[in-house]
């Protein structure tokens, strides 16, 4: 195609899109939409988002209110930026907002909507959700693999000791290996990377990069999603990157499934979740295709690893910055667990201060600051405003958890607010208290929430109980960099580098493996 013809087609597409935008605007019903900033021609409010959309949208909400209307290209977008608005969306109107809007990430990475996270709401989604709830995330399934998570955390403590001998440790890197291996043993019956003791593993680094790239690409507001006439141009190069990344993930996941089938044919049996998924029949409620199995594995290895490791990294960073809180938590762990063993999952219900620390970490550093979008199946009314059919709903979880009308000193890390007598005593993170919804709420609440909570609590408790933490020379706690990186998940802009020092007798770490 000649350059002049390409230019002509691009211009024609842009002109058609602009004309469509004008017609929609002129023909829009006169019902009152939520307030919001004036959109630009064609691209709407996309230029308002900036490099940190959750922060930019929170700033706009201070001007326009807790329910706000934006235009992304040709798409109506409604933002919920308060607990009361979120409660209406996920209680009174939850069924109406139970599907996802079309997006390039689901199309190009998540097997064209065949996964659990992006599948449209309906019978097939309910089947996938039920299978996950019964076979992957039920209390029995989690308890059956409790020993696996504890063994991998014990491996992590040894890796920290080993790595600290040669210098400062990149904590997030080791946490990611631990979470991926713990999930790998549960999902596919083996560790994904090495032996878990922290040795150099280029595949582990590559996998971490792939997961982070998924989150970064998924966090981009792709113009093609909001101006369909421009989708084929891929102006930001997002679709092309997604397709390449999908090929890498598909090769990784296909290899795992094929290996399982080959071993099963040879008489080898595994007691893992993948074997269960492969063996499901119509009598179990539905049989999964290989594509659906790979799509579920993709969900688990992306949504279930980096979110956990980054949350724990944030929690340790906050504790280092607040030595009094760290000392209080260590005192609780010493009293409940003692100096002769490591923390186990059975200890977690008896550690209220640890639970408060985790809640406060989720509040200030939610793993998904802007919830995954939903779409209005029909028009509805919220706070007296008209929400048009087809509108995209975004919930600013980050802004809600820092709302000064809900939280005293919202920017201060203060776990005591969740303890008896505190301002938020009894507030939970499981989707019923809308001022704190790091896992979302309603029908599309994170399916792996229970597993995520166990892992974050176990990892944080083990690291705080087993080690004292020092920063590299020249870095003081109050000056520790706490800037956020860009992406769907809330990464640290600068990885946490630390010197761990053993608090327990050496034999305790060895005996736990």
Binding region: 446
> Could you tell me whether strands 374-375 and 385-387 are parallel, antiparallel, or unpaired per DSSP bridges?
unpaired
C-alpha span between 276 and 115 (Å, rounded): 17
Contacts of 216 (CB under 8 A, 6+ apart): 486, 487, 488
Cβ neighbours for 42, distance < 8 A, ≥ 6 positions apart: 14, 17, 18, 21, 73, 227
Closest of 347, 370, 379, 292 to residue 465, by C-alpha: 347
Distance CA 93, CA 105 (A): 25
Q: Angle, nearest 10°, between helix axes 352-364 and 449-466?
A: 110
Q: How far is CA 454 from CA 130, 153, 297, 378, 397, in A?
A: 20, 12, 20, 37, 21
| Residue 502 tokens, joined | 């053993």
Phi-psi region of 480 (alpha: psi -120 to 50; beta: other; left: phi over 0): beta
Pairing of strands 467-470, 497-502: antiparallel
72: left (phi over 0), alpha (psi -120 to 50) or beta: beta
Tell me whether residue 407 is exposed, middle or buried, using C-beta atoms within 10 angstroms of its C-beta: 0 to 12, 13 to 18, 19 or more.
buried
Do 447 and 295 meet the contact criterion of CB atoms below 8 Å apart? no
Encoded tokens for 267: 């008489």
Residues annotated in the binding site for heme, as ranges? 446
CA atoms of 225 and 240, how far apart (whole Å): 14
Q: Which residues pair with 393 in a beta bridge?
A: 78, 374
Best CA proximity match to 238, nearest among 46, 41, 48, 397:
46
């Amino acid at each position: 195609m000649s350059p002049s013809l390409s230019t002509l087609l691009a211009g024609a597409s842009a002109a058609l899109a602009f004309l469509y935008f004008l017609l929609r605007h002129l023909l829009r019903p006169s019902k009152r939409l939520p307030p919001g900033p004036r959109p630009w021609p064609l691209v709407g409010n996309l230029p308002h988002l900036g490099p940190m959309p959750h922060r930019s949208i929170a700033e706009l909400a201070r001007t326009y209110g807790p329910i706000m209307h934006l235009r992304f290209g040709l798409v109506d977008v409604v933002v919920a930026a308060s607990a009361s608005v979120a409660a209406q969306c996920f209680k009174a109107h939850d069924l109406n907002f139970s599907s996802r809007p079309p997006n390039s990430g689901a199309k190009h990475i998540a097997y064209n909507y065949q996964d659990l996270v992006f599948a449209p709401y309906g019978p097939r989604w309910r089947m996938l959700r039920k299978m996950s709830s019964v076979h992957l995330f039920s209390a029995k399934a989690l308890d059956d693999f409790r020993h696996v998570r504890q063994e991998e955390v014990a491996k992590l403590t040894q890796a920290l000791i080993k790595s600290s001998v040669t210098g400062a440790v990149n904590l997030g890197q080791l946490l990611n290996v631990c979470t991926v291996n713990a999930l790998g043993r549960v999902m596919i019956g083996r560790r994904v990377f090495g032996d878990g003791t922290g040795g150099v593993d280029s595949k582990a680094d590559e996998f971490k990069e792939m997961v982070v790239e998924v989150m970064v690409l998924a966090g981009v507001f792709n113009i093609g999603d909001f101006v369909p006439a421009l989708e084929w141009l891929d102006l930001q190069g997002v679709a092309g990157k997604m397709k390449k990344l999908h090929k890498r993930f598909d090769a990784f996941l296909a290899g795992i499934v094929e290996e399982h089938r080959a071993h099963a044919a040879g008489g080898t049996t595994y007691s893992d979740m993948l074997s269960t998924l492969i063996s499901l029949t119509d009598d179990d409620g539905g049989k999964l295709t290989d594509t659906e199995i790979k799509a579920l594995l993709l969900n688990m290895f992306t949504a279930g690893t980096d979110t956990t490791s980054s949350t724990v990294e944030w929690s340790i960073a906050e504790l280092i910055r607040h030595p009094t809180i760290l000392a209080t938590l260590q005192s609780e762990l010493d009293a409940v667990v003692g100096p002769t063993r490591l923390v186990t999952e059975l200890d977690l219900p008896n550690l209220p201060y640890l639970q408060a620390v985790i809640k406060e970490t989720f509040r200030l550093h939610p793993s998904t600051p802007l919830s995954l979008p939903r779409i209005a199946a029909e028009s509805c009314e919220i706070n007296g405003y008209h929400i048009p059919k087809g509108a995209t709903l975004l919930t600013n979880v980050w802004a809600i958890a820092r709302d000064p009308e809900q939280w005293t000193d919202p920017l201060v890390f203060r776990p005591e607010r969740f303890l008896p007598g505190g301002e938020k005593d009894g507030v939970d993170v499981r989707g019923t208290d809308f001022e704190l919804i790091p896992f979302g709420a309603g029908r599309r609440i994170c399916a792996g929430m229970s597993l995520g909570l166990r892992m974050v609590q176990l990892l944080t408790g083990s690291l705080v109980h087993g080690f004292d933490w020092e920063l590299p020379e020249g870095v003081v706690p109050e000056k520790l960099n706490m800037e956020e990186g860009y992406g769907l998940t809330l990464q640290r802009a600068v990885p946490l580098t630390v010197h761990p020092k053993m608090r327990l007798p050496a034999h305790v770490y060895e005996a736990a493996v």
